[in-house]
Amino acid sequence: MAEPAIATQAAAPAVALLKDELDIVIPTIRNLDFLEMWRPFFQPYHLIIVQDGDPSKTIKVPEGFDYELYNRNDINRILGPKASCISFKDSACRCFGYMVSKKKYIFTIDDDCFVAKDPSGKAINALEQHIKNLLSPSTPFFFNTLYDPFREGADFVRGYPFSLREGVPTAASHGLWLNIPDYDAPTQLVKPLERNTRYVDAVLTIPKGTLFPMCGMNLAFNRELIGPAMYFGLMGDGQPIGRYDDMWAGWCTKVICDHLGLGVKTGLPYIFHSKASNPFVNLRKEYKGIYWQEEIIPFFQQAVLPKDCTTVQKCYIELAKQVKEKLSKVDPYFDKLADAMVTWIEAWDELNPTGPVPNGKAA
């Protein structure tokens, strides 16, 4: 059975890679006691805490951490009318932290995620592995059967085209979980006792043209390369759907990465997901999404972005247009979501008024 690393096991000082270039974004409704376990790995970094729910509640953060905390009142003050694009009473509010960050990289984690152990019993520095994934190229145009060729002890196998071995910039690193898997409500209900104890020592580039279910609880990305696409949609209070925030961001991000010639990796690092959410509550949030995804996913599989979409913002506005045109017939919610996508980009550009950065290379 998988168990989390205890605080003393995680106490070895960590080398703080990209200390001045990375923010850790945490959405929460509770005191952040879980940070004590992560202290050896997180303390050198700046935290952006996005408080969900009642803004009058005081969130306690352990001493010694450098952080800024935003509640709903802050979001409304900073964004004004555009605050309508940020979800309320849902962890999708985390994307506000992506917007206000000024760093190149983002790592986001949920407050029920603890330090995991590798098979040798060593505490896993998840952030360090994400950084390694982001700083090494991806290979989306041709699959390498030894997985990530840029990891120590691996390389490109015989038959891999030399013209593609340079790879492309990595935009996102998607980590996994020991203990509680990221299951939907129906799977939770039929497998209530299932736990993930399998540690697979692998990092893979998700091939071009392949979508994936992105989970936001253990995720890192290059904000300069793909940040504006990491919008977690309209979820939670006042919306007909929940628990599809990270999925939506993942589908949009992957389509845009494929178009711009950027890579997405999945696999290591693992975190220890400590508790399962209530499957009946989840089912109430998810049931429309479970039905809708059978039309949403084909939409993203068939989405084509014009060649003149050369920045993430242009790509995202074009996707919003296509969402309005093709998904509004599924439910009026998607008309509202498409408008929110445009509002998100407008708000992003207002808070981040710099020019576009170079993208990868298309194949």
Taking only the tens place, the pLDDT of each residue in 314-336 is 999 999 999 999 999 999 999 99
The helix, strand and coil proportions of the chain, stated in percent and rounded to the nearest 5, come to 35, 15, 45
Average pLDDT, the chain: 95
Residue spans of alpha helices (H) in 199-311? 223-226, 245-260, 279-302
On the question of pLDDT at 114 being above 90, the answer is: yes
Q: How many CB atoms lie within 10 A of CB 349?
A: 12
Among positive and negative, which fits the CA dihedral 152, 154, 155, 156?
Answer: negative
Cα–Cα distance between 110 and 151 in angstroms, integer? 27
On the question of pLDDT at 10 being above 70, the answer is: no
So what's the pLDDT on residue 254? 99
So what's the pLDDT on residue 8? 46
So what's the pLDDT on residue 356? 46
* Residue-wise pLDDT tens digits, 117-174: 999 999 999 999 999 999 999 999 999 999 999 999 999 999 999 999 999 999 999 9
Number of alpha helices (DSSP H) and beta strands (DSSP E) in the chain? 10, 9
Q: Give, in order, the Cα–Cα distances in Å from 262 to each of 34, 124, 138, 308.
A: 33, 27, 8, 17
Q: DSSP states of 128-171 as a string?
A: HHHHHHHHS-B-TTS--TTS-TTSTT--PPTT--GGGTT-B-EE
**Span 206-232, mean pLDDT?**
98
Name residues whose C-beta falls within 8 Å of residue 313's C-beta, 6 or more positions apart in sequence: 228, 345, 348, 349, 356
Count CA atoms closer than 13 A to 140's CA, side-chain side.
27
The band of 348, judged by pLDDT with boundaries at 50, 70 and 90, is: very high
**Which pTM was predicted?**
0.95
So what's the pLDDT on residue 4? 87
